[in-house]
Amino acid sequence: MNISCLVELIRSERKRSEGSLIKEGLTMARECYICGKKPVSGRTISRRGMAKSKGGVGQRVTGKTLRRFCPNIQSVNALIDGKKKKIKACAKCIKAGNVKKSA
Protein backbone atom coordinates (compact mmCIF):
# COMPACT_ATOMS: atom_id res chain seq x y z
CA MET A 1 0.00 0.00 0.00
CA ASN A 2 1.64 3.25 -1.09
CA ILE A 3 1.57 6.55 0.78
CA SER A 4 -0.98 8.30 -1.46
CA CYS A 5 -3.48 5.46 -0.93
CA LEU A 6 -2.91 5.71 2.80
CA VAL A 7 -3.51 9.46 2.74
CA GLU A 8 -6.76 9.07 0.81
CA LEU A 9 -7.89 6.31 3.18
CA ILE A 10 -7.27 8.53 6.22
CA ARG A 11 -9.02 11.49 4.60
CA SER A 12 -12.04 9.37 3.63
CA GLU A 13 -12.30 8.17 7.24
CA ARG A 14 -12.26 11.82 8.37
CA LYS A 15 -15.02 12.67 5.91
CA ARG A 16 -17.18 9.87 7.24
CA SER A 17 -16.58 10.88 10.85
CA GLU A 18 -17.22 14.61 10.32
CA GLY A 19 -19.99 14.35 7.76
CA SER A 20 -19.45 16.25 4.53
CA LEU A 21 -17.80 19.29 6.09
CA ILE A 22 -14.44 18.68 4.42
CA LYS A 23 -14.60 19.30 0.69
CA GLU A 24 -12.10 17.55 -1.55
CA GLY A 25 -8.82 19.46 -1.60
CA LEU A 26 -10.01 22.23 0.76
CA THR A 27 -8.73 22.44 4.30
CA MET A 28 -8.52 25.14 6.92
CA ALA A 29 -5.43 27.34 7.24
CA ARG A 30 -4.03 25.64 10.34
CA GLU A 31 -5.29 22.12 9.76
CA CYS A 32 -3.20 19.05 8.96
CA TYR A 33 -3.99 17.63 5.50
CA ILE A 34 -3.31 14.06 6.70
CA CYS A 35 -4.84 13.67 10.16
CA GLY A 36 -7.02 16.80 10.44
CA LYS A 37 -5.35 18.08 13.59
CA LYS A 38 -6.24 21.74 14.22
CA PRO A 39 -6.03 24.30 17.04
CA VAL A 40 -8.08 23.59 20.15
CA SER A 41 -9.16 25.97 22.88
CA GLY A 42 -8.00 25.72 26.47
CA ARG A 43 -7.14 27.77 29.54
CA THR A 44 -4.08 28.94 31.40
CA ILE A 45 -4.49 28.99 35.16
CA SER A 46 -2.57 31.62 37.14
CA ARG A 47 -1.75 30.65 40.72
CA ARG A 48 -0.08 32.34 43.68
CA GLY A 49 1.30 31.01 46.93
CA MET A 50 3.71 28.26 47.83
CA ALA A 51 2.67 24.63 47.47
CA LYS A 52 1.93 22.66 50.64
CA SER A 53 4.54 20.08 49.68
CA LYS A 54 7.18 22.85 49.79
CA GLY A 55 6.14 24.10 53.21
CA GLY A 56 3.57 26.72 52.20
CA VAL A 57 -0.11 27.08 52.97
CA GLY A 58 -1.19 26.05 49.47
CA GLN A 59 -1.74 27.62 46.09
CA ARG A 60 -4.72 29.75 45.14
CA VAL A 61 -6.10 30.33 41.66
CA THR A 62 -6.02 34.02 40.78
CA GLY A 63 -7.24 33.87 37.19
CA LYS A 64 -8.16 31.75 34.22
CA THR A 65 -7.59 33.05 30.69
CA LEU A 66 -8.46 31.42 27.39
CA ARG A 67 -5.68 30.32 25.05
CA ARG A 68 -5.22 28.21 21.93
CA PHE A 69 -3.15 25.05 21.65
CA CYS A 70 -1.83 25.12 18.06
CA PRO A 71 -0.36 22.04 16.36
CA ASN A 72 3.06 22.23 14.71
CA ILE A 73 1.87 22.70 11.10
CA GLN A 74 4.49 22.79 8.33
CA SER A 75 4.10 23.50 4.61
CA VAL A 76 5.60 20.65 2.61
CA ASN A 77 5.74 19.63 -1.05
CA ALA A 78 4.26 16.15 -1.19
CA LEU A 79 3.25 13.60 -3.79
CA ILE A 80 -0.53 13.24 -3.76
CA ASP A 81 -1.95 10.83 -6.37
CA GLY A 82 1.38 10.95 -8.20
CA LYS A 83 1.31 14.75 -8.52
CA LYS A 84 3.36 17.35 -6.68
CA LYS A 85 1.16 19.33 -4.31
CA LYS A 86 1.94 21.79 -1.52
CA ILE A 87 0.11 20.70 1.61
CA LYS A 88 0.12 21.61 5.28
CA ALA A 89 0.98 18.67 7.52
CA CYS A 90 1.69 18.41 11.23
CA ALA A 91 5.19 17.48 12.36
CA LYS A 92 3.91 14.21 13.83
CA CYS A 93 2.65 13.01 10.43
CA ILE A 94 5.90 14.09 8.72
CA LYS A 95 8.02 12.25 11.30
CA ALA A 96 5.83 9.13 11.10
CA GLY A 97 6.40 8.95 7.35
CA ASN A 98 2.78 9.54 6.36
CA VAL A 99 3.89 12.31 3.97
CA LYS A 100 5.76 11.29 0.81
CA LYS A 101 7.92 14.31 -0.02
CA SER A 102 8.55 15.35 -3.61
CA ALA A 103 11.79 16.82 -4.94
Span of 4-18, 46-60, 64-78 with lowest mean pLDDT = 4-18
Could you tell me if residue 103 is inside a domain? no
Could you tell me if residue 35 is inside a domain? yes
Could you tell me if residue 34 is inside a domain? yes
Task: Give the number of domains in the chain.
Answer: 1
pLDDT of residue 103: 72
The DSSP H or E segment spanning 90 is strand 83-90
pLDDT of residue 19: 46
Backbone angles phi, psi at 63, to 5 degrees: 180, 150
Could you tell me if residue 82 is inside a domain? yes
Could you tell me if residue 30 is inside a domain? yes
- Domain that includes residue 90, residue range: 3-96
Backbone angles phi, psi at 90, to 5 degrees: -80, 155
Q: What is the mean pLDDT of residues 72-95?
A: 93
pLDDT at position 7 over 80: no
Q: What is the mean pLDDT of residues 74-80?
A: 93
Could you tell me if residue 21 is inside a domain? yes
Cα separation, 103 vs 87, whole angstroms: 14
Could you tell me if residue 102 is inside a domain? no
How much is the pTM? 0.63
| CATH code where residue 77 lies | 2.20.150.30
Could you tell me if residue 101 is inside a domain? no
Backbone angles phi, psi at 100, to 5 degrees: -90, 110
